[in-house]
Amino acid sequence: MDSMNEAIKSLRNPMDLNGKSAIVTGGNRGIGFGISTALSQRGARVAILCRDIEDGRRAAELLNNDGGEAIAVLCDVSETEAVKAAVAEVWERFGRVDILVNNAGISCCKPFLELDDDLHEFTDVVDVNLYGAMRMSHACAKRMAAAGGGSIINITSVGGFVCNIADIQPMAGYSASKAALNHMTRALAVELGASNIRVNGVAPGPTHSNLDDMMSDEFRKMVSTETCTRRFGEPLEIGAMCAYLASDEAAQITGSVIAVDGGILVKS
């Protein structure tokens, strides 16, 4: 279908992303690579935007060896000019971008009163997690609108809904940035709907990623008792939800933030 919001006519080939092009920020490892893998396996061309270009190229090579078409592009989402340059490069190489997944994120697991006095450990997290998604969305949405539409997917967190583990896993900046990203998702869905751009969020619960080293032993133990599934999620499971939200099957879904969390929110 040419229209990103046209009603589907069949479910014979679900989540078909053939002919579509995607950007995944931080798509070279952890949850980001799970998302890149899922989109690639469903047929999308994938541009992995990352700060470590060599690692990005290795990730792209893995997707290409698996039958996909992927490239790596250097980008730091905390820098506006870098974002503009990266989006322009992807657009030139792919000719269009139908899907943007704002996945790049950082965290700081540290009690609030122990943060550095200039609060960079807080503001840096917000700059990447929230403003980075804003910069990417602004750069891509203008082009998407001119091309007829698209799908933007923000990777948020259940930490943007609840703070029930703040005592054992203090991440005030991370939680604040994800809560704001949840609401930005809804606001942009309203604003960009007229441009045929859907905007949704995926809120992972405890999921294995490159942030695993920040997890305390107490937190790891909590996952086995406080999630309905009694386990951590895997990156490809987040990727599966992104592939669905990017597909024609989700054409009537916008402004939603969907938890993929093993049921941890319902037990909070």
Residues 6+ apart with CB under 8 A from 5: 149, 196, 198, 251, 252, 254
Within a 10 A sphere around the Cβ of 185, how many other Cβ atoms? 26
Which residue in the list 91, 94, 161, 174 is annotated as catalytic? 174
d(CA 21, CA 119): 38
What are 28's two structure tokens?
């070279």
Bridge partners, residue 197, by sequence: 150
DSSP 215: -
Output the CA angle 173-175-106, nearest 5 degrees.
Answer: 60
DSSP 26: T
What are 1's two structure tokens?
């279908």
What is the 3 state secondary structure string of 50-97? ECCHHHHHHHHHHHHHCCCEEEEEECCCCCHHHHHHHHHHHHHHHCCC
Q: Active site includes 174?
A: yes
Active-site residue list: 174
